[in-house]
Chains A and B, each alone.
Chain A
Amino acid sequence: MNLIDIKTAYFIAYKTIIKGHKSTVSLIIFILSLSFFNLMFVSGFLSGFSDGIMQSMIDTSTAHIIVLPQEEPTRKDFIVDQNSVRAQIQTIPGIIATASHYQLGGSVAYDKEKNGKFKYVSAPIIGVNQKEEKDVLTVHENIVSGEFPDNLNKNEIILGANLSGGFDTVQTTDLGGAIVGDEVQMTYSNGISRTYTVKGIYKITIGGIGGSAFISTKEAEAILSTYNNASEIMIKVDLTKDTLDGYINKIKTMLPELKIEKYTARLSTVGILISAFDIIAVIVSVISIIVAAITIFVMIYVNAVSKRRQIGILKAIGIKESIIELSYILQSLFYASLGVVGGLIIIFWIVVPFIAIRPIPMPYGDASLTYTSLGIFINIISLIVAGILAGFVPAKIVARENILKSIWG
């Protein structure tokens, strides 16, 4: 195939499209636009779903980076002198905020009917400095009853709705409906018991945080008999200034004795869910591409069959089969390219603005369509390659037919 052959193929394709029925050309482009929209919408929605859950986990539970106590050569229970450690971390450019946590385990008891019959539920308890916590995590934004004060008293506790019960939660192991102002009894794993007044209840449905409870740092230190230490330090970073791995490397260099984790290490069942959605997204995308390819194949085949006579004439006057095939590939490329443009217009000019006006509520917040430049590029290339292949095959079939049969049927 030389330049003249390519020019000839282009000429055939150009004239066939220009002189083709405008309604047929429009219909083909419209159907391909819908195929590309389908490909983009499903992958964007599933990607948005995964990203939404992940962001929700980062915002409410894990932050971006978690610093944990030393494990090697000897395992320690706490990060010692957390104020100093956090001050060091905050010298790294791009670190937005840090917050220290004490992790405590224990059993919560609640007597709903005040008749001496307690319901006991095991729960993780987190000791936090409320002011610091609000700079890193958004639990305070999810309060459904009471409040999440900056100055939580030593005898006050904030419960997750999955622990308190009620608020449309569907837990089998909750306290059965503790409300703000009620008293709950805590028995910690070291044997210390305390009675707390419920100050607030928050509801977070993604991850395990919804079944936890928060007490003040001072109260946690009193129970654990420690001071200025931490079970973990949560770090929020600005990802526009560095990558997550970049921040982790800097922290590791700064604090080589401590264990540093990425938020992905804390995703647990949510991580499995996200991985499953990623796999589903790939499967659905592949199916969408196959459906788009079949759609293009059928349309180009019908188009090629309806042009059998033209193909026969071209062969009769001495045009090579390869030129005819290339002309149909160019036509497919034209249709697929306009289908891509149409699909992008539907997605970014119609659907995305529509979802912005009328959001679809999801457990983690409002649904969004999430795209990366690479993802969009892969979708575009996938449809165009599918279009070229789907256009080539029918053209090859029809171009191989006997000339006389092509012309006269």
Chain B
Amino acid sequence: MIKIEKLVKTYPGKVPTHALKGVSLDIAEGELVALMGRSGSGKSTLLHQLGLLDIPTSGKIIIGKQDVLSLSDAERTRFRLQHLGYVFQEYALIAEFTALENVYFPAQAFGDNDAKKRAEHLLDLVGLKERINHYPNEMSGGEQQRVAIARSLINNPKVLFADEPTANLDTVSSEIVFKLFQKLNKELKQTILVVTHEPEDKKYVDRVIWLKDGLIEKEE
């Protein structure tokens, strides 16, 4: 599903920062994988490159059969809209939209007329059926993160990326989120790549990839 070859990301500056130093990795369809490592190990940077939110310095990323780095800006935007789901650490919901609007909006923008129905279904799936007309500032952190997860699934993405989705959540909410990932992975065969720094999250995933200093240190 995902193939990464010698991915390098260097942030320019007086002293350039080598965030990724040649990462190569394969993730199979339907896998639930965790990227772990200390702060600064490069796990979020790797996820940003895979989610097409940033452009690597060199290397190759193939998602499905598409070499995504060969796409133009507009094509990358379209690919992101159609094939990728992304869950941010700080939810990244649009404050002016209700929970329902946040979820169906990316599909509506794609011209999907059934978006609203599916958004309602997804919000039901993440346990927020009663909160669909609430705005983000009227919801708890855990609820907002579940809205963000529902949103990331609205276009039936090939892969779901989650960048430390439980970092701002309490233990109970964190467990709800990871159990939701497990449910999505098992029931929908959703490929999920999640960045986390909590060792106890290992129990929820199929595979753990450890990063250190911009390189893969080990796999479990």
Contacts and interface: CB of A to CB of B under 8 A. Distances in A.
Contacts of A312: 92
A406 B197 CA distance: 24
Contacts of A402: 54
Contacts of A7: 108
A15 B96 contact: yes
Contacts of B95: 19, 310
B88 A407 contact: yes
A320 B88 contact: no
B96 A310 contact: yes
B78 interface: yes
B81 A318 contact: yes
Given A402-B54, A407-B88, A319 B109 contact: yes
Contacts of B81: 317-319
A195 interface: no
A307 to B, nearest CB: 9
B94 A318 contact: no
B111 A4 contact: yes
B96 A18 contact: yes
Contacts of A319: 77, 81, 106, 109
Interface in B78-112: 78, 80-82, 84, 86, 88, 92-97, 101, 105-106, 108-111
Interface in A279-326: 309-310, 312-321, 323
A8 B110 CA distance: 9
Most chain A Cβ neighbours within 10 Å, of B51, B54, B94, B97: B94
Given A4-B111, A19-B95, A318-B78, A404 B105 contact: no
Given A8-B108, A15-B101, A318 B96 contact: no
Interface residues of B, number: 29
Contacts of A320: 74, 77-78
Interface in A9-29: 11, 15-16, 18-20
A217 B95 CA distance: 84
Given A11-B105, A319-B106, A402-B54, A314 B94 contact: yes
A20 to B, nearest CB: 7
A19 B102 CA distance: 14
Contacts of A8: 105, 108-109
Nearest to A16: B96
Interface string B105-147: 1101111000000000000000000000001000000000000
B92 A404 contact: no
A258 interface: no
A403 B53 CA distance: 6
B151 interface: yes
A407 B94 CA distance: 11
B48 A404 contact: yes
A318 B77 contact: yes
A298 B54 CA distance: 29
Contacts of B92: 309, 312-313, 316, 407
A164 B97 CA distance: 78
A261 to B, nearest CB: 65
A7 to B, nearest CB: 8
A407 B86 CA distance: 13
Contacts of B106: 317-319
B133 to A, nearest CB: 13
Most chain A Cβ neighbours within 10 Å, of B77, B93, B97, B108: B77
Contacts of A15: 94, 96-97, 101
Contacts of A20: 96
Nearest to B73: A321
Given A4-B110, A317-B151, 16 more contacts: A15-B101, A310-B94, A310-B95, A313-B92, A316-B53, A316-B88, A318-B77, A318-B81, A318-B109, A318-B110, A319-B106, A319-B109, A320-B78, A321-B77, A403-B53, A404-B48
25 contacts: A4-B109, A4-B111, A8-B105, A8-B108, A8-B109, A11-B108, A15-B94, A15-B96, A19-B96, A310-B96, A313-B93, A314-B94, A316-B86, A316-B92, A317-B80, A318-B77, A318-B82, A318-B106, A318-B109, A318-B155, A319-B77, A320-B77, A402-B54, A403-B53, A404-B48
Interface of A: 4-5, 7-8, 11, 15-16, 18-20, 309-310, 312-321, 323, 402-404, 407
Interface of B: 48, 51, 53-54, 74, 77-78, 80-82, 84, 86, 88, 92-97, 101, 105-106, 108-111, 135, 151, 155
